[in-house]
Amino acid sequence: MQNHLVNSSAINGAGLSPGKKVFKVQSGQFAGRIVILMQTSPSEIKLTYADYPYTTWVAPINILNDCADNPFDAVMDDENNMYLAYTLAINNNLVCRKLTFIYGLWAVSDVHTIYDSDNNLNPSIELQQPDKLWVSWTRISSGQYYINAKHSIDRGENWGNGPSSYGYEIASGVSSAWSKVQSMGSYTYLIYTIDGTRLSCRRKHIFLELWEDEEDIATGSGFDDNFDTAISADNRVGVTFDSGTLSFREFDGSKWSGVAVIDESGGDFPQLRYFNNNPYVVYLSEFIDNQRRVLCCRRQGSSFTEPLEMIESSRPFDEAICYSSTFASYQDLTAQAADSVAGDMFYSGTSTLLKMPGDALYLGMQNRFHFLHIILSVPGSGGNISWQYFNGQDWASFEPEGGSFNLEDIEKDYMLWDDMISVPNNWQKNRLNDNYLFWIRAVVTSEFNTGPVGTHVSAVAKVGAFILMEC
């Protein structure tokens, strides 16, 4: 179920693709509680949580207000404590805080400095059982970009040889660097991109001081923070990455698999999880006009399945139908609504989408939805619209969350309801033109001077980022 939790003014409110911010309490009285960490402003990180069935979330609780406007990362231990790695706003130092789990809540500890020099960005933090924390991050010094790593053996209070040491230098470049640290068995793995030209890996045995030599996972161009890694229960390291094409590789402890293509068109913000030792990839796919669909696929045999919609309420409409009161007939505009051809959405007899009182645009889907993205080639003027849904007996008018909208804007991201929790429970399916769907209709209540002409309408949002729960 989709809930609107909070608005964020931070540059990266949801962080980076390899980041971790959503966790589930695994044991004890509060087992099943889901907690979310989020950067709600350039300097604040807040926390919210909910218990099953996850329909009611506590108001976001302020955790800290001293962070830089830069992504942070977190990890949860087996006692449900959390550890945050982030950049301090005042001096760009890299620091860590522990959030101690006590009676269902999380108490915030003091700041512990990981590294106190240079410009430090984009940390990744991992727990290597039983009590060693690892952090990797981007360090910028004298115009160079470095991937560094340090560890703590006392759950984040002290790091390596002290705050003046940057620890292990893993790789360097001249323009960009992102990393994610993972633990599997006796090894710590670092997966990272450098200068947009390669995605690489190094690993370190728990009893050895030196890191093994770098091994390239992929080379070329376009490598950035659009990658993710995960560890399977049977000890394989999976990596999904985008460099124009969304792909996947896997390491079994001795060798890397071949490259499996997930989406030839690429994918933003890919997230990787294993279920029953099978890799699943969720990612953002470009649609129309900066809209992005959340798609999901899994490996089946040696290849990946065709992507499916992850959010059933955020996709193109199953049906879009225009009704003319003048001609007392319907026309199917489903294909025209889904494409981006300018000015192709209109009733053929009037050359407008809507004009006279009683004219209506019907938008239908197998699932309830709460949002519209509308593009017009000709905006309407002078007319008024009533927005309505079917309540099981009649068409019921409602005031959309986005306020009054009479198709007078060329482009509109329009909130019918704030989130899926806010969608009325009595919204029922009904049959229109032999299509049994959840319908919304926009009905003309007063004549338009200029009738609108449409280009596109869908329920696909402009999703910027998302984070899956750690499991």
- Using a 10 angstrom Cβ sphere, with 0-12 exposed, 13-18 middle and 19 or more buried, the burial of residue 126 is buried
Quote the pLDDT of residue 209: 94
Say yes or no to pLDDT of 1 above 70: no
Question: Residue 464: what pLDDT?
Answer: 86
| Residues in contact with 283: Cβ distance below 8 Å, sequence separation at least 6, in sequence order | 240, 242, 246, 262, 263, 267, 268, 269, 270, 271, 294, 295, 296
Over residues 80-90, the pLDDT tens digits come to 999 999 999 99
Report pLDDT for 4.
87
C-alpha 435, offset from chain centre: 32
Long-range own/partner contacts, residues 48-55 (CB < 8 A, 24 or more apart): 48/5, 48/6, 53/1, 54/1, 54/3, 55/1, 55/3, 55/421
The chain-wide mean pLDDT, for the chain, equals 96
Q: Which two tokens stand for residue 229?
A: 């890694």
Q: Does residue 470 have a pLDDT over 70? A: yes
- Residue-level pLDDT at 219: 97
Q: What percent of the chain has pLDDT over 90?
A: 93
Average pLDDT (424-446) is 96
- C-alpha 420: how far from its chain's center? 17
pTM listed for this prediction: 0.92
Q: What backbone torsions phi and psi does residue 40 show, to the nearest 5 degrees?
A: -95, -15
182 CB-near residues (< 8 Å, 6+ apart)? 126, 188, 189, 190, 191, 229, 230, 231, 237
Is residue 18 within 8 Å of 124, Cβ to Cβ? yes
Q: Where in the chain is the domain with CATH 2.60.120?
A: 319-458
Residue intervals of the chain classified under CATH 2.130.10.120 are: 22-309
**Two structure tokens written together for 167:** 């620890």
pLDDT digits (tens, 9 = 90+) for 31-60: 999 999 999 999 999 999 999 999 999 999
How many CB atoms are located within 10 Å of the residue 333 CB?
23
Half-sphere exposure of 341 (CA within 13 A, CB side): 10
Q: What is d(CA 321, CA 442) in angstroms, rounded to the nearest whole number?
A: 11
- 194: pLDDT confidence band, cut at 50, 70 and 90? very high
Residue 255 above 80 pLDDT?
A: yes
Kindly state the percentage of the chain with pLDDT values over 70.
100
Position 8 scores a pLDDT of 92
- What spatial distance separates the first Cα and last Cα of the chain, rounded to whole Å? 18
Task: Give burial (CB, 10 Å; 0-12/13-18/19+) of 214.
Answer: middle
Q: How confident is the model over 179-203, as a mean pLDDT? A: 97
**Does the pLDDT value for residue 189 go beyond 80?**
yes
Q: Is the peptide bond before 53 cis (omega within 30 degrees of 0)?
A: yes
pLDDT band at 130 (very low <50, low <70, confident <90, very high): confident
Q: Six-digit token pair at 165? A: 């040491």
Structure tokens at 402: 């986005």
Q: Which CATH number fits domain 319-458: 2.60.120, 1.10.10, 2.60.40, 2.30.110?
A: 2.60.120
Which has the minimum average pLDDT: 177-186, 197-206, 287-296, 387-396? 287-296
pLDDT digits 0-9 by tens, 360-403: 999 999 999 999 999 999 999 999 999 999 999 999 999 999 99
Q: Which fold has domain 22-309?
A: Methylamine Dehydrogenase; Chain H (2.130.10)
